[in-house]
């Protein structure tokens, strides 16, 4: 038996470095803790370049087909690693100001990244589950990391318990699939389901449980209850982490489980996704309107975005998947920027987490007000921002596959949703600031945040390349 480990070289590198950093960090004094941070960022850059070097051109199965290596997975992994990198850039000062700038925090982040990468290229129920748990456990710990905050502890507890229930259900669904097909391999499961064209009841039974696990990870209604509480309670740097990269991994999990594993159950899961999608778009957009806490507002905004991206998946066409993937990536970019702005405005002893904290931002810093303007417009789906193309492409796919009513519902709800984004813009430009403290920031954060905003604007003008990358990797 021989192993071809080259395709998973990025994962191996990441894990090795995480262990090394854990050891190095133990011997560092608090003053020289920056070294850990630099090592972590170096690791992420190294992983990115390894991913780039090993970028596959076709689908191959390795490690006794437990793992699948394909362009979609590689592209998603690239974006995951890049997202985590930016999250850490944004987090550094935030963590320092709150006294939990620790090596373990970053190592947990790295291990969570490893979990996501595992999920992305899993081709076996066991691997999916292990990746998911690796991710979830790291996230629970990261949420609880700010020990002095009772809010964070509460959020961690809720996240942990609900997450445990959800992963229990996922596991139950997996065990049923295993019980019926006798295999954990997604290809075998797909084969077996296709042969069994008569009574699908038992598969549907397993599928429902799988769907609950998936919906929980995405935060789709009605399995979304954890989202607002955890987003609000967790330290902003962790919220930023939870809300961006794991969504990319969840998208991959959805693709692996439903499209690769259960294509024969398409009719059923399409229906389930329709319900999840409509509910998410509606609940997300409507409840966000009455939120006064901006992290909570963004949590509901995330829920609504999830509804839109499911819209792309439920069309069950190649282009629909590409549109959903495009949406997910765009969402991650916008989420990064949005939470990045909150981090920017926060400082030691002050969390800029209320919507009113954005009042008069234009007077305090026209440039960051402009960046926030781009982000909000993009989230609302206003051309020429990137978010517009993302919404447009999923809606177009929905229309093309005959879900006209669903697209109409989506459009109406996104119009309702535009209200709370525009409200922030209104506050930034037309109201007096409540707080006149200068914005303290560091050059790396400035560059990253500005680039983040400008990329959304720039890619909005020229969305072709990213769209083509998504279409190419799915096809």
Partner 1 sequence: MKTIYLTIVLAPLIGAIIAGLFDVSRRVAHTVTIAGVGISFFLSLYVFKYIVIDGGAIFNETLYTWLVAGNIRFEVGFLVDQLTATMLLVVTFVSWMVHFYTIGYMHDDKGYQRFFSYISLFTFSMLMLVMSNNYMQLFFGWEAVGLVSYLLIGFWFTRPTAIYANLKAFLVNRVGDFGFLLGIAAVLMYFNSLNYAEVFAQAEQHKNTLIQIIPGQDWSLMTVICILLFIGAMGKSAQFPLHVWLPDSMEGPTPISALIHAATMVTAGIFMVARMSPLFELSPTALAFVITIGAITALFMGLLGLVQNDIKRVVAYSTLSQLGYMVVALGASAYGVAIFHLMTHAFFKALLFLAAGSVIIAMHHEQDIRKMGGLSKYMPITYWTSLIGSLALIGFPGFAGFFSKDLIIEAAHHAHEAGHLGNAGTFAYYAVLSGVFITALYSFRMFFLVFHGKERMDHHTQHHLHETPAVVTVPLIMLAIPSIFAGMIAIEPMIYKDYFGHAISFEHSPFAHKHFVSLFEFMWHGVKQLPFFLAMAGLITAILLYWELSFIPPFFRQIPAILAKKLSIIHQIMLNKYGFDRFNDWFFAGGSRNVGSFLSSAGDATLIDGVFVNGSAKLVAWFAGTVRHVQTGLLYHYAFAMILGLAFFLGTFVLYGSKLI
Partner 2 sequence: MTIEKLIFYFFATVLVFAAVRVITARNPVHAALFLVLAFFSAAATWLLLQAEFLAIVLVLVYVGAVMVLFLFVVMMLDINIAKLREGFIRYLSVGILVGLLILVEMVLVVRTMTAPVLTAAPVSAVPNIEAIGQVLYSIYIYPFELAAVILLVAMVAAIALTMRSPRQHKYINPSLQVNVRRADRIRLVNLPAEPKD
Structural contact between residues 194 and 264, judged by C-beta atoms closer than 8 angstroms: yes
In the set 182, 222, 472, 475, which binds partner 2 (CB under 8 A)?
182
Under the binding rule (CB under 8 A), the answer on residue 131 touching partner 2 is yes
Scanning 98-106, 210-218, 228-236, 246-254 for contacts with partner 2 by CB under 8 A, the matching segment is 98-106
Lookup: tokens for 223: 């399995």
For partner 1, the binding residues in 240-269 under the rule CB under 8 A are 267-268
Question: By three-state DSSP, how is residue 149 classified?
Answer: coil
422 contacts 376 by C-beta, under 8 angstroms: yes
Calculate the alpha carbon distances from 432 to 1, 96, 437 in Å.
Answer: 69, 30, 13
Kindly tell me which residue out of 26, 45, 194, 290 binds partner 1, with binding defined by CB under 8 A: 290
**Quick one: which of 6, 53, 147, 430 contacts partner 2 (CB under 8 A)?**
147
Tell me the C-alpha to C-alpha distance, in Å, between residue 288 and each of 137, 299, 374, 462. 28, 8, 19, 30
Distance in angstroms (rounded) separating the CA atoms of residues 327 and 370: 23
Residue 367 binds partner 1 (CB under 8 A): no
Q: How many alpha carbons fall within 13 Å on the CB side of residue 401?
A: 21
Give the number of residues in contact with partner 2, rule: CB under 8 A.
Answer: 40
Binding mask of the shown chain, residues 187 to 216, with x at each position contacting partner 2 by CB under 8 A: ---------x-xx-xx--x-----------
Give yes or no for residue 211 binding partner 1 (CB under 8 A). yes
Cα dihedral sign, 249-253-254-259: positive
CA-CA-CA-CA torsion sign (42, 46, 52, 56): negative
Distance between CA atoms of residues 260 and 165, nearest Å:
25
* Beta partners for residue 23, in sequence order: none
Dihedral of the alpha carbons of 130, 134, 139, 144, in degrees to the nearest 10 = 110
Interface map 161-180 toward partner 1 (x if CB under 8 A): xx--xx--x-----------
As measured in angstroms, the least distance from the Cβ of 287 to partner 1 is 5
The length of the chain in residues reads: 475
Check residue 228 for interaction with partner 1 (CB under 8 A).
Answer: yes
Q: Which does 157 bind (CB under 5 to 8 A by kind): partner 1, partner 2, none?
A: partner 1
Nearer to partner 2, 12 or 471 (CB): 12
Q: Given the rule CB under 8 A, which of 39-47, 200-208, 234-242, 426-434 is the region that contacts partner 1? A: 200-208
Positions in the binding site for partner 2 (CB under 8 A)? 1, 3, 15, 19, 22, 63-64, 66-67, 102, 104-105, 107-108, 111, 114, 118, 124, 126-127, 130-131, 133-134, 137-138, 140-141, 144-145, 147, 179-180, 182, 196, 198-199, 201-202, 205
């Amino acid at each position: 038996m021989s192993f071809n480990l080259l395709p998973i070289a990025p994962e191996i590198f990441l894990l090795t470095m995480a262990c090394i950093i854990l050891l190095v960090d133990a011997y560092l004094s608090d003053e020289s803790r920056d070294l850990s941070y630099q090592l972590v960022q170096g690791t992420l850059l190294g992983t990115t370049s390894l991913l780039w070097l090993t970028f596959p051109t076709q689908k191959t199965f390795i490690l006794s087909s437990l793992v699948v290596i394909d362009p979609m997975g590689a592209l998603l992994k690239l974006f995951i690693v890049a997202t985590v990198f930016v999250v850490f850039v944004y987090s550094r000062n935030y963590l320092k100001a709150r006294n939990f700038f620790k090596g373990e925090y970053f190592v947990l982040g790295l291990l969570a990244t490893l979990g996501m990468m595992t999920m992305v290229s899993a081709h076996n129920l066991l691997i999916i589950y292990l990746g998911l748990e690796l991710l979830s456990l790291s996230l629970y710990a990261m949420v609880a990391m700010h020990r002095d905050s009772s809010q964070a502890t509460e959020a961690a507890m809720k996240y942990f318990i609900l997450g445990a229930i959800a992963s229990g259900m996922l596991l139950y669904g997996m065990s049923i699939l295993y019980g019926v097909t006798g295999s954990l391999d997604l290809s075998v499961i797909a084969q077996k389901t296709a042969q069994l064209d008569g009574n699908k009841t038992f598969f549907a039974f397993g599928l429902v449980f799988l769907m609950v696990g998936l919906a929980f990870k995405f935060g789709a209604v009605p399995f979304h209850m954890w989202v607002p509480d955890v987003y609000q309670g967790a330290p902003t740097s962790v919220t930023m982490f939870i809300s961006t990269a794991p969504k990319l991994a969840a998208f991959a999990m959805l693709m692996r489980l439903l499209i690769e594993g259960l294509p024969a159950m398409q009719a059923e899961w399409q229906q389930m996704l329709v319900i999840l999608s409509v509910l998410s778009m509606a609940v997300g957009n409507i409840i966000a309107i009455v939120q006064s806490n901006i992290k909570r507002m963004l949590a509901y905004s995330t829920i609504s975005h999830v509804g839109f991206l499911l819209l792309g998946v439920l069309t069950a066409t190649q282009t629909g998947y590409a549109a959903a993937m495009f949406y997910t990536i765009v969402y991650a970019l916008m989420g990064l920027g949005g939470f990045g702005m909150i981090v920017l405005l926060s400082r030691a002893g002050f969390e800029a987490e209320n919507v009113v904290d954005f009042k008069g931002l234009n007077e305090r810093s026209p440039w960051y007000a402009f960046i926030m303007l781009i982000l909000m417009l993009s989230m609302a789906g206003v051309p020429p921002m990137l978010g517009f193309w993302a919404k447009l492409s999923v809606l177009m796919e929905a229309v093309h596959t005959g879900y006209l009513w669903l697209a109409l519902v989506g459009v109406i709800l996104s119009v309702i949703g535009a209200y709370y984004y525009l409200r922030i813009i209104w506050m930034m430009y037309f109201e007096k600031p409540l707080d006149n403290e200068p914005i303290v920031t560091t050059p790396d954060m400035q560059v990253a945040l500005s680039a983040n905003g400008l990329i959304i604007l720039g890619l909005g003008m020229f969305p072709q390349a990213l769209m083509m990358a998504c279409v190419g990797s799915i096809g």
